Copies of this chain bind each other. A is one copy, B any other.
């Protein structure tokens, strides 16, 4: 991007893109060309765009995907958050002064989290980065600016959502086993769960259809496959799990 006049001043967005792969929760990150700092994919809002349209555009550019499950979760507005923007350093080092004024201004950033099917993502770096890679949560240390705080807040939000909303539709394959679903919950919550309690509880929410089909390969007594009951799943996503009050 070089046509900064197409965008609104002061307004940015950052995306925490979660994928589930090899029983690990992973986040899509960019590595900046010059400072080598890791960052969340982000962008700005065009004068004729809504925030949601801008976030969809950024996600499409970084992942190649449309129709991603996307949720606003918090606005980050510390007046000093933009002071350490390494994009400025990157621009200085690259020799081109273009964009320095733009990136030197104060940005208030809205965080979006996205849940995606790991296998469908085709990661692509942006103008400032030369790498776009998945990192497992445990591998991630410091990130540029307040991006670590943004990631932590996304994770905290996701954990809180687990207490009243379903999860998994955008993260798991269409058919999955109970142990796979449990592993997803354990990964997000960062703790192990009792197998029988988990099963009893998740079944009580009526968001799963048990299939008359077992996982192929492996043991003689392979686990049954499940799929989400999308009608109930989407209802619970909107209203919270029923029977709450």
Contact = CB atoms under 8 A, between A and B. Distances in A.
Contacts of A163: 164, 240-241, 244-245
Contacts of A193: 245
Interface centre among A72, A77, A201, A244 (most CB of B within 10 A): A77
Interface string A183-200: 001000100010000100
A242 B244 CA distance: 14
Contacts of A10: 8-11
A110 interface: yes
Contact of A78 (B50, B159, B241): B50
B164 A106 contact: no
B9 A110 contact: no
A155 to B, nearest CB: 13
Nearest to A10: B8
A169 interface: no
Contacts of A201: 245
A114 B10 CA distance: 25
A48 interface: yes
Contacts of A162: 244-245
Contacts of A78: 50
Contact of A185 (B75, B77, B239, B245): B245
Interface in A1-49: 8-11, 45, 47-49
Given A106-B8, A193-B245, A245-B193, A79 B239 contact: no
A80 to B, nearest CB: 9
A224 interface: no
Contacts of A241: 163
18 contacts: A8-B106, A9-B9, A10-B11, A11-B11, A47-B106, A48-B79, A50-B77, A50-B78, A50-B79, A51-B108, A75-B110, A162-B244, A162-B245, A163-B164, A163-B240, A163-B245, A189-B245, A201-B245
Closest A-B pairs by Cβ, 7 of them: A163-B240, A163-B244, A51-B77, A164-B164, A163-B164, A50-B77, A8-B10
